[in-house]
Amino acid sequence: MKSTPLRSRHEELGAKMAEFAGFYMPISYSGIKEEHQAVRTRAGIFDVSHMGEFIVRGREALDFIQHVTSNDASKLAIGQAQYSCFPNAEGGIVDDLLVYRLAEDNCSAGERAYMLVVNGANLDKDWRWLFEHNTFDTRLLNISDQTGLIAVQGPAAAAILQPLTSVDLSAISYYTFTKGQVAGVDNVIISATGYTGSGGFELYADAEHIGLLWDAVMAAGKDHGLLPAGLGARDTLRLEMGYCLYGNDLTDSTNPLEAGLGWITKLGKGDFVGKAPIVAQKTAELQRRLVGFTLAERRVPRHGYPIENAAGEVIGEVTSGTQSPSLDLPIGMGYVPAEMREPGTEIFVVAGKKRLAATVCKIPFLSL
């Protein structure tokens, strides 16, 4: 099992640790609900150094990324990022990811540079996938082990980080980034992407310096109510916003259109891996859709629980579920037949011998 460069700091803070994506990671410190509310109302700091980072550089770097991802990377200017996915040959999803267009400082004439940020659980799979499809004039570099990543999320994030850097954080709009010095650490990528819905920044730095950044942010955040937050709160925060989690809501057999990711699937950009089956499924009309739902009872819907219709027929299964700390009620997501995706539709979640009434609703569950 791997560890992030911040393991000793988590243990000193008394974090509850467990295996996640092959890494020994903090699940919670003071408690999931407390950490969740800190991010929603003040700020939280997450260690997400388990994520994978790949550099793509070359004359055909854009052509390569256009070939293996669903979104249109040609729209990216230097300093911009976009959410995307790797479709497979059958139209399923190898992984979801972020694509960053980097400055061309270290490029030869005519070259472009990008950074792909992938899920830690899929790091090796994604790396093999990219190599298998790299028939372009481009070079791939895996910098995952040399890169540390922390996320500072919440309405107080900018106030906490601004004293640590001369970079104007107010100029970093959603899904843009820049590079600068933070807390004396050089060449930090400061990105405004996030996975909580509460705003904030991600800081990418050399793994050997990520501890200095963590310590500086923790110190600067004391007067703002900043709390260290683990993967438990990260999950409840993302689910309230209806953000998908790979391995739960997205898999190798999930079509991005049925997952509600048509907005990152640009069928008009030209050919790409998986385009033909995605188009075919769209033409034939989607048979199932990912929906959000709430439960009247207090029981939490868990991943894998069957979903039934009123007649008791199994029509799908829960992909994600939790007790929403913000709404104080159980929420979940799952795939149901396309005709049952409308808000207000009644479905039933089967939890052992209990059959729990649920109501399809719009996502995100929370409006911020």
- 32 and 181 together in one domain: yes
- What's the total number of domains in the chain? 2
- 165 and 39 together in one domain: yes
Q: Residue 335 belongs to a domain with what CATH number?
A: 2.40.30.110
Would you tell me how many other CB atoms lie within 10 Å of the CB of residue 19? 11
Position 109 scores a pLDDT of 86
- 175 and 232 together in one domain: yes
The answer to whether residue 282 sits within a structural domain is no
The answer to whether residue 275 sits within a structural domain is no
Position 101 scores a pLDDT of 98
- 22 and 164 together in one domain: yes
Position 151 scores a pLDDT of 98
The answer to whether residue 89 sits within a structural domain is no
Contact 73, 65 (CB under 8 A): yes
Give the bridge partners for 152, in sequence order. Answer: 45, 201
Domain boundaries, position 314: 287-361
Domain boundary among 216, 240, 264: 240
- 303 and 230 together in one domain: no
Position 110 scores a pLDDT of 86
Contact 236, 37 (CB under 8 A): no
- 231 and 311 together in one domain: no
Q: Residue 217 belongs to a domain with what CATH number?
A: 3.30.1360.120
- 14 and 156 together in one domain: yes
The model carries a pTM of 0.96
Domain boundary among 178, 206, 240: 240
- 12 and 154 together in one domain: yes
Burial 214-245 (b: 16+ CB within 10 A, else e): bebbbebbeeeebbbbbbbbbbbbbbbbbbbb
The answer to whether residue 112 sits within a structural domain is no
The answer to whether residue 250 sits within a structural domain is no
- 229 and 298 together in one domain: no
The answer to whether residue 72 sits within a structural domain is no
- In angstroms, the CA 270 to CA 158 distance is 39
Contact 151, 51 (CB under 8 A): no
In tens digits, the chain (368 residues) has pLDDT values of: 999 999 999 999 999 999 998 999 999 999 999 999 999 999 999 999 999 999 999 999 999 999 999 999 999 999 999 999 999 999 999 999 999 999 998 778 889 999 999 999 999 999 999 999 999 999 999 999 999 999 999 999 999 999 999 999 999 999 999 999 999 999 999 999 999 999 999 999 999 999 999 999 999 999 999 999 999 999 999 999 999 999 999 999 999 999 999 999 999 999 999 999 999 999 999 999 999 999 989 899 999 999 999 999 999 999 999 999 999 999 999 999 999 999 999 999 999 999 999 999 999 999 88
- In angstroms, the CA 122 to CA 128 distance is 10
- 175 and 291 together in one domain: no
Using CA atoms in the order 292, 295, 301, 303, what is the torsion angle rounded to 10 degrees? -10
Contact 343, 331 (CB under 8 A): no
The answer to whether residue 292 sits within a structural domain is yes
The answer to whether residue 299 sits within a structural domain is yes
- 156 and 38 together in one domain: yes
